[in-house]
Amino acid sequence: MPDDTIAFPNPQATSQLDGEFPGSEAFDFHRKLPGYRQSPLIDAPGIAEALGVGKVWVKDESSRFGLPAFKFLGASWAVYRVLLERVGGAIEPWQTFDDLKERFAPLKPLTFVTATDGNHGRAVARMAHRLGFAAHIFVPREMAQARIDAIQGEGADVTIVDGSYDDAVTQAAALAADDTLVISDTAWEGYTQIPRWIMEGYTTILRELDDQLAAAGDSRVDLVAAQMGVGGLATAVVWHYRRPPLVDRPKIVGVEPLAADAILRSAQAGRMVEAPGPHTSIMAGLCCGVPSVVAWPIIAKGIDVFVAIADEWAREAMRALARAGVVSGETGAAGLAGLLALLSGPEREQYRRLLGLTPGSRVVVISTEGATDPVAYQRIVG
């Protein structure tokens, strides 16, 4: 591989996982929310030609419920489940956010707290605001000002942490109390249920994808690329494509930055390990030094190839997606970036064989965000 890419074929990969898999509850919840619509599925023939495959579908998550990323899917489902537990597990029928606000009003005052590299924190703040609760979001020092401004625009208090995303997670977690609920998308020992609900929320993307491919007349998927970060989205992808009794099981490639390659390092070590900092990458949403303890056991067996890439691959992928008509930010383009890195280097034929790719293969890429930092997007894409 080139010096700007590290790839690790997973010796533990399996085509089917055992255990508990999410049902359709999160999908049913999202479809009931005001403003719900499927995210677009874009046919990208130019990208397919670049990768040497028959078809590339891009699931464009640049406008979920009016936010420029997929994260509201996880945040909304987790907040709903937490509040539902607090009122005893059931509420009267509802149709609008105002209905939900009324059902959960007896729980006030409550503050939702989380750490973020941008998109998750804004999603938590949006859900809190719509339900009439407060939000307090912790962000790392290096986060782009545009992302901080967007979170504050949702009515949340923002604390800038003099450190990394993982430092922000630690500070947010310390505030947990009866009137302060931590809605973190990463997990640690003793804190696993809420991150699992967040990952369940992301499965809506895959359920929509199935429906859209069926409507297009070709449901076959041979390869899926998924961003990793702490492992939330990648877990949703593995749950979807490694659950029984599926017969056609696509290969899954997991992608993260070289500067924050905790999952790749963990796969190489055969156990969870930390990636040393500083975790500096333009793929800000993936700058995480420690995998989620909920995600790790699932992706450790469900992903076929782990890939860590330099920032330039993300820039190239952003430009390729722009040519296909998709506005994708640095993190949003990372899945495609990993495939470009794998299939452009001197070992590309080896990886084509490993992934079973042919000129007729069907590939799915999830573009997880739009231009969350417009200045950076303009500089890169032009």
Residue 164 predicted with pLDDT over 80 = yes
Does residue 91 sit in the same domain as residue 183? yes
- What's 213's DSSP letter? H
Summarised one tens digit per residue, pLDDT across range 232-272 is 999 999 999 999 887 779 999 999 999 999 999 999 999 99
Asked if residues 285 and 224 have their Cβ atoms less than 8 Å apart, the reply is no
Q: Is 3 a known active-site residue?
A: no
d(CA 49, CA 337): 15
Structure pTM?
0.95
Which domain covers residue 76, as residue numbers? 72-190
Q: Final residue of a domain: which of 190, 212, 233?
A: 190
Catalytic residue from among 55, 59, 71, 251: 71
pLDDT score of 2: 54
Q: Which residues contact 275 (CB under 8 A, 6 or more apart)?
A: 259, 260, 261, 262, 265, 289, 290
Domains held by the chain: number? 2
Contact (CB, 8 A) for 227 and 233: yes
Q: What is the dihedral of CA 230, 232, 237, 239, to 10 degrees?
A: 110
For residue range 37-51, what is the model confidence (pLDDT) as tens digits? 999 999 999 999 999
Residue finishing a domain among 168, 190, 212? 190
Q: Do residues 376 and 237 share a domain?
A: yes
Same domain, 237 and 354: yes
Domain-ending residue, one of 169, 190, 211: 190
Mean pLDDT of 134-152: 95
Catalytic option among 60, 117, 222, 373: 117
117 is catalytic: yes
Give the angle 277-280-283 at the CA atoms, nearest 5°: 130
